[in-house]
Structure 1
Amino acid sequence: MSAPKGQNYKFSPLPSKSSIRLLRILSGPSEQALRCSLEVVDLSDTPEPSYDCLSYTWGNPLYQKILPPQDGREITDERKFRIECDGLIICVAENLLEALSQLSRNGLESTSGPQRWRRQDRIWVDAICIHQEDMEERSSQVAMMERIYRQAQNVVVWLGPDDTLTELGIEVMQRLASVPPEKRELDLPDDLDNPEVYIGLGIPFCTPQDWLALATFLQRTWFSRVWVLQESFAARRIAVFCGTHILNWTDITAASKTLGDTGLGRLLRERVERVTTTVIEETRYVANTLNNLYIFEEIRENAHSLSLETLLQYSRYFGASNKMDHVYAVLGMWERGPRQQTSSDSITPQYTLRVEDVFAKAALVSIREMGDLNLLSLVESAPFRSAEMSSLPSWVPDYTTTPFTEPLRGNPRPAEDEARWNASAGLEWEELGALDLPLLPVRGIQVSTVTHRAATEAEIIDSHQEYTLLALLKHCLDAPSPYADPIDAWWRTLIKDTFQASPIGSREGIVEACRAFATLLTYWVWSLEMRISELGTPLTDTPFHQTLTKAYSHLHSLIVHLSPIDKTQAIPSWSSIRSNIKLGEANVSETFDQDYEHIASSFRLAYMGRRLFVTASGHQGIGPQALEKGDEVWVLGGARVPMVLRRVQEGMYGLVGEAYVHGIMEGEAVGEGKGRKIYLQ
């Protein structure tokens, strides 16, 4: 790797493993060009060296989708801007140049809220203080970054330069930060333009422009950068710069809590949807920023109890220019326990390795740390993996992707006494010895083979294929079944036996959930009728109109067939469905009330990214979207939920994903079996 064009600074080797370079800004506030100097210090010296750390993003720090076209800027991570350092030239990216220039103009004395803050006269900046072209030095310095940030007097966060909405966005953020915790629990109107929202919160009214300015501020790149997890975690004190403004970190987190706790964050996301063109991609960042701010605080509050598995899962919500940093950026926050003291479980930054090997090693160490196989629940179905990670072992999560489905085992994993299921009860997990990666040995019991599968959630939403769910139920009724009541098993499977975020459990819970499920079926019929009506009459027939008409016919005939034999009443009669729809035509909320909201949420959380399937033994389940006929359902020792595996060759399998399988979630499939050893690749 060669230095940028124009850079002639000569880096001398660092004298010890605890040595770092520190940058001193020599230029004054009135100087146009930056002049700096580098000096070497040892972190082990007594007294410790005094310095600050700069936390920033290499690339474009701004969110420009809402800004007026004239405010657009091309800020790249290209190191083409020159600064003078000890009489020579070091090249840096534009955002770093602006950060150092602002610190130079600001001087050493600053005001942050009511507190005065003094910046140290030396600062550690990764792009300058690490010889970026020396891969060995880069790896060793990255390995000690947690210590570098922990020993700093301050972590200076640079969110980027001002834009035309910065001042307004910060003002709105500070309004939300001033809301006391007790007011965040109020039941507010579901409308950002309703004055009652602001009366309830006790803050000035926020206009549509105010909210868009806040969204622009919250979506600055820094909030989604994976290294900031460790940088903010290790900080003694945090000072936040945004252009010419100095902010309190606590204001930013308090504002995020107001948005999250009141539901205003969801309304803000919906507002951004209406003003941006690529809806799914753009609005994801609003949600991610709020989620990431919660993660910052979660990590700081639980500093000494975070497993590597949890930290790696958190890293998936952030971005990294180097994929390996999804692992390396969280290592400094991980406190290794007794099980992780062996050299075989050591993970140190090595940028010469393959990304797949780094991820596999991290997953293996996580499994050993937790002493079970529940990490397999975090593996995403193939359609949701990054295309660049196609050669990743099937049992290793793709840490570069944001999780799409809610893991059945919970996320983060619950305490042992709070776990919902234990499908492998009675089947011991075997401690892993030295392994020949990427193979993972497991012991398990094959339950059955997938014979049929239904539509995915996307297919149901896009082309109304709900009827495939009932078609599989009809198949179960026509074939041998392990269930006393296959219809009861069917609808409970579709919501993973969970209603209003709790196990269905008691008889009263079953009756309540069953009634709500009947409302869901009614809604499916009504929404299909509305869609067909919107597309026109048979005189203006189109292929898609014909597809929906056939779907409606299938749905009608299946309900007519299944309803009379349903003892649970989860499948209402066709006449009952039509009557309820007719009653609600004037006011849809009378038909699709709170029951619908609860059951729709239960179905969505269970089914998103998954699909219904039936096995040769008649078991019903919901499993990964990528499952196919011929895949096998297994219970693996150390995994609380069943897994769908795909045979590659005798004794060798690929992991397709986790599954809920009705009737075997509490060890029923294990019995007296000890299982057999197989390998996941």
Structure 2
Amino acid sequence: MADKRDIQNGLPYRPQLSQGTQSTYLRDVYKPLARGNIRLIELQGLRDDGVLECKLVHKLLAADRRPKYATISYTWNPKNRLTYGKYDVASKHIILDGFRTRVPDKAATILRLMFAHHRRRVWIDAICINQSDAAEKASQVQMMSDIYRSANEVAIILGPPSDLTDHFIEMLLDDRESALEEFERSPHKLIAGYSAMRENLYWTRAWTLQEISLATSANIFCGSRVVSFQTYYRFREATEMDVRSKAFAVADKTAMGFLADAAKGDRRFNADIAEERYQTGLVVKGSETGLLELLRRTRMWHNCMNPRDKLYSRFGLANDARTLLPSIDYKSSTESVFKSFAARCILLTGSLEVITFTNKTKMALPTWVPDWSSPSQDWHSRKSVLIEAIQTFSWTGKPDLRVSVDDTTLTVRGMVLETITASYAAVLRCYVTYFSPYHVPREAYSWSEIPRKGDHICALQGCDNLVFLRKVQTHYILVGRFIAWQEMLERGLFPGSKISQICADASPHLTAGEELTFEIR
């Protein structure tokens, strides 16, 4: 039996169909989109059999002709249910342009929810983009920032709802001051509801960053309750004011301010995390942010069904995205997209900054190419005096950075500053002693990744970090690609290393070595 709160919203969506009802494939309903156009769904009503009747309309997105509509921001994960009770997650029928067609259950449920809340024109990616047409999908994703920026409202769909989330939202709607008073007087129930919303996986979804930050207006739909994003965010801000940081003093309290408050996705709150959240807000808020810096600040927004979307979801937020990502490509393999992006970053910027995002991966990638599907922390140096010391090296000529035609080999000039003499056991023992609290992933100290005897500590032209290189036959590979190994090096903790001791100095002075050419794969 359905929960009465679901019934209030006409949920769960259960159209009554006779057995053997024929349907048209969704892909056969679509008509080609003209350049600059998007599809919108007009919700027209419910038929006697409970089937939602809809119409697809094509609208041109132009600065002077913006149609009125709500965009849907949600997770595709069917396990993240939208109703209080259990329900069948099989695809559901709707009427679309006169055709009876099946759509994902979650999309159908959201359309029914929007209809109950009097939204009559909606954009939802699962239906408004022909997901079986890679070319159309690429074109529409390239327009995604305009789609969300042009909407009257972004509808944030959270689930699962519960008595706890209901109680929390009711308090917010009653009076934010009353909610804060109850938070102090009897916090347990309120905290439980608040935590259920704050820790929802929606906030780690890759596309959330763009969809909320570009919203003109945003509302959160959770079960039978609706609350403005602004109200929710202000409560969140107020409850965490004990973090005495400018992170919570951002003047803009609209959806954009949210970006200041979740950069790490860390459940703990301290000044360092708050500071980074604040910086994230500024990074996205300004239009002069580079794509690599944006990726560095927002790495915890990583959940996506397609790994390419970790890059594409930032497309509309960085000032150099169209240069580094000239096209949205769903036809090439994920590895090809990641390799091409890394190569463009290096060749167009004359910098090796992108290699500091690399990490151990199961993908078939060169060691200098980052796997953007991983939430792993970058290992860019946090020690400014060491960066300055590396930058004082006198190189012969400008950076000579070359990438092979197949994007597999990076050729760069560099210097070997030291060859490691410590054993694997000694380095691992140092990690266990000093860095186990960092909860470095197990892959960080696997035999293939940990710097070991015979590896080189090197400076590379165009890179502000020292790197670990290992020779394999006639080429080299990057190892030690986790922040813990950089920390060991920079704090003077790397066993048996003179360079590590120098790096730990307040004003490190590095002695240049012979310039060599490295082929890194």
Instruction: Calculate the TM-score normalised by the size of structure 2.
Output: 0.74
Aligned-pair CA distance for 1:308: 1.0
Deviation, structure 1 residue 644: 0.6
1:176 and 1:325, CA in 2 relative to 1: closer, same or farther beyond 3 A? farther
Show the counterpart of 2:334.
355
Paired residues for 1:73-472 under 5 Å: 73=86, 80-108=91-119, 121-160=120-159, 162-170=161-169, 203-258=183-238, 262=242, 287=267, 294=277, 298=281, 302-313=285-296, 314-336=298-320, 341=323, 345-368=324-347, 371-380=350-359, 382=360, 385=361, 387=362, 389=363, 391-404=364-377, 407-410=379-382, 421-428=388-395, 430=399, 432=401, 435-436=404-405, 437-453=407-423, 466=433
Kept after mapping to 2: 8 A contact 1:394/1:654: yes
Contact 1:61–1:160 (CA<8 Å) still a contact in 2? no
Q: Deviations over 1:290-316 (max 9, x none)?
A: 989948971675331221112333244
Q: Secondary structure at the match of 1:287?
A: coil
The Cα offsets for residues 171-222 of structure 1, whole Å up to 9 and x where unpaired, read as 5778997599xxxxxxxxxxxxxxxxx8xx8953244343233222223332
Q: Which of residues 491, 502, 507 in structure 2 aligns to 1:663?
A: 502
Whose helix proportion is higher, 1 or 2?
1
- Distance change (3 Å), C-alpha of 1:174 and 1:365: farther
Pairwise CA RMSD: 4.3
Q: Does the Cα contact within 8 Å between 2:53 and 2:95 map onto a contact in 1?
A: yes
- CA 1:87/1:175 → structure 2, altered by over 3 Å: closer, same or farther? closer
Pick the structure with greater CA Rg. Answer: 1
Query: What CA distance in whole angstroms lies between the structure 2 residues aligned with 1:298 and 1:155?
Result: 19
For residue 445 of structure 1, report the CA deviation from its aligned partner: 0.4
Q: Per-residue CA shift, 1:514-559, capped at 9, x if unaligned?
A: xxxxxxxxxxxxxxxxxxxxxxxxxxxxxxxxxxxxxxxxxxxxxx
> What's the CA shift string for 1:216-256, capped at 9, x where partnerless?
22233322211111111222222222222221212333344
The amino acid across from 2:146 in the alignment is R
Name 1:478's counterpart in structure 2.
none
The residue matched to 2:78 in structure 1 has which SS?
A: coil
Q: Which runs of 5+ in 1 are unaligned?
A: 65-69, 109-120, 181-197, 265-283, 467-493, 495-602, 614-622
CA deviations on 1:60-114 (whole Å, 9 max, x unpaired) are 36489xxxxx9774786x6x11111122133222222222111111115xxxxxx
1:333 is aligned with what amino acid?
L
- Cα deviation, residue 423, structure 1: 2.6
Q: Which moved more, 1:28-37 or 1:46-55?
A: 28-37
Higher relative contact order (CA 8 A, sep 6+): 1
Give the Å deviation of 1:332.
1.6
Partner residue in 2 for 1:8 = 25
Whole-angstrom CA distance in 2 between matches of 1:49 and 1:407: 44
Partners of 1:451 and 1:630 within 8 A in 2: yes
Q: Residue by residue, what CA displacement relative to the aligned partner does 1:392-448 show, whole Å, maximum 9, x if unpaired?
A: 2211222222225x73523xxx9xx88855435224461546643121222110122
**TM-score, scaled relative to structure 1:** 0.58
Instruction: State the AA in 2 paired with 1:298.
Output: G
Deviations 1:334-370 (A, max 9, x none): 2128xx75xxx44322111111121222233334565
Q: Does the residue aligned with 2:390 lie in a helix, a strand or coil?
A: coil
Contact preservation (8 Å) 1:646, 1:655: yes
Query: Percent identity among equivalent residues?
Result: 21
In structure 1, what residue type is equivalent to 2:138? S
What is the distance in 1 between the residues matched to 2:201 and 2:340? 29
* Alpha-carbon distance between aligned partners in 2 of 1:326 and 1:254, rounded to the nearest angstrom: 28
**Candidates 25, 29, 37, aligned match of 2:55:** 37
Deviations 1:565-600 (A, max 9, x none): xxxxxxxxxxxxxxxxxxxxxxxxxxxxxxxxxxxx
- Cα separation, 1, equivalents of 2:70 and 2:438: 47
Give the secondary structure class of the aligned counterpart of 1:214: helix
Question: Is this contact kept in 1: 2:386–2:508, CA < 8 A?
Answer: no
1:645 to 446, 469, 489: 469
Measure how far apart 1:289 and its partner are.
12
Once the two structures are superposed, the pairs formed by residues 590-605 of structure 1 within 5 Å of their partners are none
How many residues are paired up? 455
Relative to 1, partners in 2 of residues 1:143 and 1:253: Cα closer, same or farther, differing over 3 Å? same
CA apart distance, 1:669: 3.9
Asked whether the 8 Å contact 1:36–1:86 carries over to 2, the reply is yes
Aligned equivalents of 1:165 and 1:456: distance in 2? 50
Quote the Cα distance in structure 2 between the aligned partners of 1:418 and 1:663: 11
Question: How far apart are the structure 2 equivalents of 1:303 and 1:143?
Answer: 20
Mind listing any 5+ residue stretches in structure 2 that lack a counterpart? 1-21, 245-263, 491-499
Aligned equivalents of 1:294 and 1:352: distance in 2?
Answer: 35
For residues 144 and 238 of structure 1, the distance between their equivalents in structure 2, rounded to whole angstroms, comes to 19
Structure 1: distance between partners of 2:448 and 2:237: 33
